[in-house]
């Protein structure tokens, strides 16, 4: 196909894909606003909007060039490529911010957002999809097959989250006398809306990561990738639903939705290389892993209100390794090495930065403020001021 023509078509395709990913901004916002208690809803929404604004602008000013080494682009408009990549950066921090919800102050989190978007995430992109400053070293992991960021996005966000939870600790009263207190989601329609918007955003995330639609082969590849992405979500939802039903005899929509998201993460690394049936297996395992991981993290008193570690970390690892298992052209060891290098780098640097920020500004609110809720103490704005509450 004519180069100008494919330039035009791929630019339109990148803009379309980017737009779908941006629907993940309200997606994460609604999901998290629905999961937390009403006293922390405004705060969680504020954090989501802040992340999109701060992370995206930081990426424009600093991160993008650090990740890719250049703004230039041959086959597609460089501005469309930037928009597509920019749509990713906030997701890393969204994934993380949910897991420290209901107890973390907004300003220190904003500062960490700047660090993630200017340094940690761009460096991960640099050594995987980008300019690759590790080229030729023994740590070179650019051979890892990670289509749309099972490791680069989802694990990166959740390794940072794990570091943050170690520093910040659990919500007040969450673990008491060896028991985990169940804190129910405050608004199930918002949880559902958010998860479904994320699902749709994933089509842009994974489909767009193919990079071009402008040939018959690529058109097939993009469509296959989106189909496999969706199948992963379907299988994850069903597997999680059945498993929870067997265990607890109830049909649990929050687990079904988290299972779907786990399934979606689990096919994010390899949706472009599987046949149409493999994602059923990978996604089912992904959904099942969420069901097992949620109580496991609670056993270790790792308090993660939205289940981000179960959805994104466990499945980020599983999904990346799955490419090594199910795709014959990909080496399992290469995948494992990629997972490990990113894990160590992100966890260690996050821990250091978070530790320093915490020393200066303190992430966790004090105990009384946590009881009152972030909406009053941090924002001065109640989410639903006219509704009488039971708590």
Using CB under 8 A, which residues numbered 320 to 379 contact a second copy? 378-379
Question: Contact between 163 and a second copy (CB under 8 A)?
Answer: no
DSSP state of 364: B
* Measured distance CA(125)–CA(115) in Å, rounded: 14
The yes or no reply on residue 264 touching a second copy (CB under 8 A) is no
Our finding on whether 246 is near a second copy (CB under 8 A) is no
- Establish if 42 lies at the interface with a second copy (CB under 8 A): yes
Asked if residue 385 binds a second copy (CB under 8 A), the reply is yes
Is 248 one of the binding residues for a second copy (CB under 8 A)? Answer: yes
**C-beta closer to a second copy: residue 195 or 343:** 195
Find the shortest distance in angstroms from Cβ 257 to a second copy.
7
Give the nearer residue to a second copy in terms of CB position, either 243 or 256. 256
- Give the residue with the Cβ less far from a second copy, 223 or 296: 223
Say if residues 273 and 328 touch (Cβ distance below 8 Å): no
Question: Under rule CB under 8 A, which residues in 78-97 are in contact with a second copy?
Answer: 78-80, 82-83, 86
CB contact set of 276 (below 8 Å; sequence gap of 6+): 224, 227, 228, 231
Out of 35, 38, 123, 170, point to the residue binding a second copy (CB under 8 A).
Answer: 38
Exactly one of 74, 177, 179, 216 binds a second copy (CB under 8 A); which one? 216
Residue 385 neighbours by CB distance under 10 Å: 8
Give the tokens for residue 97.
């911010």
Location of structure tokens 């060896």: 178
Per-residue CA distances from 81 to 93, 127, 371 (Å): 20, 18, 44
165 binds a second copy (CB under 8 A): no
CB of residue 13 to a second copy, shortest distance in Å:
6
As measured in angstroms, the least distance from the Cβ of 189 to a second copy is 5
Which of the ranges 135-143, 222-230, 302-310, 364-372 carries the binding residues for a second copy, by CB under 8 A?
222-230
**C-alpha to C-alpha distance for 160 and 353, rounded to whole angstroms:** 10
Site string for a second copy, 169-208 (x = CB under 8 A): ---------------xxxxxxx-xx--xx-xx--x---x-
DSSP code for 38: G
What is residue 170's DSSP assignment?
P
Between CA 87 and CA 108 the distance in angstroms is 23
Shortest reach from residue 148's CB to a second copy, in Å: 15
Report the alpha-carbon distance of residue 331 to residue 75 in Å, rounded: 29
- Output 152 or 240, the one with its CB closest to a second copy: 240
SS3 category, 213: coil
Tell me which residues in 97-116 interact with a second copy (CB under 8 A): 106-107
3-state DSSP call for residue 258?
helix
């Amino acid at each position: 196909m004519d180069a100008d023509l494919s330039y035009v078509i791929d630019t339109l395709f990148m803009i379309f894909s980017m737009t779908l990913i941006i629907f993940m901004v309200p997606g994460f916002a609604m999901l998290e606003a629905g999961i937390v208690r009403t006293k922390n809803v405004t705060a969680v929404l504020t954090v989501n909007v802040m992340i999109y604004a701060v992370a995206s602008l930081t990426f424009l000013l600093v991160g993008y060039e650090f990740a890719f080494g250049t703004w230039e682009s041959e086959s597609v408009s460089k501005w469309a490529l930037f928009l597509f990549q920019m749509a990713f950066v906030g997701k890393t921090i969204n994934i993380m911010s949910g897991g420290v919800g209901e107890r973390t102050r907004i300003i220190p989190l904003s500062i960490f957002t700047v660090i993630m978007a200017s340094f940690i995430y761009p460096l991960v992109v640099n050594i995987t999809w980008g300019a690759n400053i590790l080229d030729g070293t023994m740590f070179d992991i650019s051979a890892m097959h990670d289509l749309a960021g099972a490791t680069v996005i989802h694990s990166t966000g959740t390794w940072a989250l794990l570091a943050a939870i170690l520093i910040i600790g659990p919500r007040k009263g969450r673990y008491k006398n060896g028991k985990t207190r169940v804190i129910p989601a405050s608004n199930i329609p918002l949880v559902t809306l958010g998860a479904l918007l994320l699902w749709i955003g994933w089509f842009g995330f994974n489909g767009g990561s193919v990079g071009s639609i402008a040939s018959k082969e690529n058109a097939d590849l993009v469509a296959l990738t989106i189909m496999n992405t969706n199948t992963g979500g379907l299988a994850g939802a069903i597997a999680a639903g059945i498993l929870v039903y067997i265990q607890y005899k109830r049909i649990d929509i929050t687990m079904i939705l988290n299972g779907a998201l786990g399934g979606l993460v689990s096919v994010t690394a390899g949706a472009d290389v599987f046949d149409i049936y493999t994602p059923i297996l990978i996604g089912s395992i992904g959904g099942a892993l969420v069901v097992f991981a949620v109580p496991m993290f609670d056993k270790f008193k790792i308090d993660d209100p939205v289940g981000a570690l179960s959805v994104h970390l466990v499945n980020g690892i599983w999904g990346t390794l799955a490419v090594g298992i199910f795709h014959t052209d990909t080496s399992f060891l290469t995948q494992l090495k990629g997972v490990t290098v990113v894990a160590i780098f992100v966890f260690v640097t996050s821990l250091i930065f978070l530790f320093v920020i915490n020393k200066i500004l303190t992430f966790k609110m004090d105990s009384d403020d946590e009881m009152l809720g972030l909406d009053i103490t941090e924002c001065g704005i109640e989410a639903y001021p006219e509704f009488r509450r039971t708590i």
